[in-house]
Copies of this chain bind each other. A is one copy, B any other.
Amino acid sequence: MSVLIVGSTALDSIKTPKAENPRLLGGSASHAAVAASFFSPVKLIGVVGEDFPKKYISLYRKHGIDLTGLQIEPGKTFHWSGEYELNMNNRRTLLTELGVFEKFTPHLPAAAKRTPFVLLANIAPALQHHVLDQMARPKFVVADTMDLWLNIAMDDLVKLLKRIDGFVLNDSEAHQLTKEDNVFAALKKIHKLGPKYVIIKKGSHGSILSGPKGCFICPAYPLHTVIDPTGAGDSFVGGMMGYLATARGSVDANIRRAMIYGSVTASFCCEGFGLNRTIKTTRSQIESRVKELEKLTRF
């Protein structure tokens, strides 16, 4: 089955003490879509400007991503620029030029409205609602978010939580949303807001799922060197949804393994700037890291 993914489609300029990488392909939907494409067909919903490089259109196509829902509007593509410190832990935003993204209203092509798996990647909750309004009874809907929406669009986000099956956020966002320091206490509170499945991402410490079959402690794949963690969270949820869409059986039966596949896909993302390493990844490299994670956690 296929996955519909809506989110930001952007150009990222990423500076580190060692290198400058201007106008890489970025945005939550780009990372999630490429990650999901390793496992299942993907329909991308997003917007870019007339300046969007043709090579990135080719890149999406090479990954079999359906671009019928990618709007190309007069103006400039969303451009984000950020700088990492040497240890890659601290990031600061240098520039945010919204461009055509400022007035983005996602229009779903007719065929997209019946996609069974829906990933509302990080984007304003109002736009996530707008996508759901157009969908015809999807089988499984997951939303991601970011601190910005907790700050400026909390009402929209809380309403969204009642409309989705799964919610993915990081530990600091979970704290911001629930005022709980304890991850398990936070998970309990988030379930009360609606979602049946809640996943808290903890970066290199892995992630935790709480769902109808209890909790799952999902490890991160061990990396000795992190080149650029931008998009790792999007790759995680994209890989997870791609795997879920293709796996036989219920979501309950597959979600743990889907998270492991998401975790591994995210590990490749961290090993290069932007999508540079992810796009060189093969399915067999993914399978090999999944096997390694099995060995790393067995006792």
Interface residues of A in 257-299 (CB under 8 A from B): 257, 259-260, 294-299
Cβ–Cβ contact A298 & B256, under 8 A: yes
State how many copies of this chain the complex holds: 2
Cβ–Cβ contact A225 & B185, under 8 A: yes
**Interface check A219, CB cutoff 8 A:** yes
Known: A217-B297, A296-B216. A185 touches B256 (CB 8 A): no
**Interface check A215, CB cutoff 8 A:** yes
Cβ–Cβ contact A223 & B184, under 8 A: yes
Q: Which residues of B contact A183 (CB under 8 A)?
A: 204, 222
Measured in the bound complex, the distance between the Cα atoms of B200 and A204 in whole Å is 14
Q: Which residues of B contact A89 (CB under 8 A)?
A: 181
Q: Which residues of B contact A222 (CB under 8 A)?
A: 183-184, 208, 215, 217
Q: Which residues of B contact A182 (CB under 8 A)?
A: 223-226
Q: Name which residue of chain B comes closest to A258, CB basis.
A: B299
Q: Which residues of B contact A216 (CB under 8 A)?
A: 296-297, 299
Known: A202-B205, A219-B217. A224 touches B296 (CB 8 A): no
Q: Is the interface of A mostly helix, strand, loop or mixed?
A: mixed
Q: Mark A76-101, 1 if CB is under 8 A from B, else 0.
A: 00000000000111000000000000
Q: Which residues of B contact A294 (CB under 8 A)?
A: 299
Distance (whole angstroms) from the CB of A290 to the closest CB of chain B: 9
Could you give 28 example pairs across A and B, Cβ below 8 Å? A88-B181, A89-B181, A182-B224, A182-B225, A182-B226, A184-B223, A184-B224, A185-B224, A185-B225, A188-B224, A202-B205, A205-B205, A205-B206, A206-B217, A214-B296, A215-B222, A215-B296, A216-B296, A216-B299, A217-B219, A217-B222, A217-B296, A218-B299, A256-B298, A257-B299, A259-B299, A294-B299, A297-B297
Q: Name which residue of chain B comes closest to A219, CB basis.
A: B217
Measured in the bound complex, the distance between the Cα atoms of B297 and A214 in whole Å is 11
Q: Name which residue of chain B comes closest to A183, CB basis.
A: B204
Q: Which residues of B contact A295 (CB under 8 A)?
A: 214
Q: Which residues of B contact A184 (CB under 8 A)?
A: 222-224
Q: Which residues of B contact A298 (CB under 8 A)?
A: 256
Measured in the bound complex, the distance between the Cα atoms of B298 and A295 in whole Å is 12
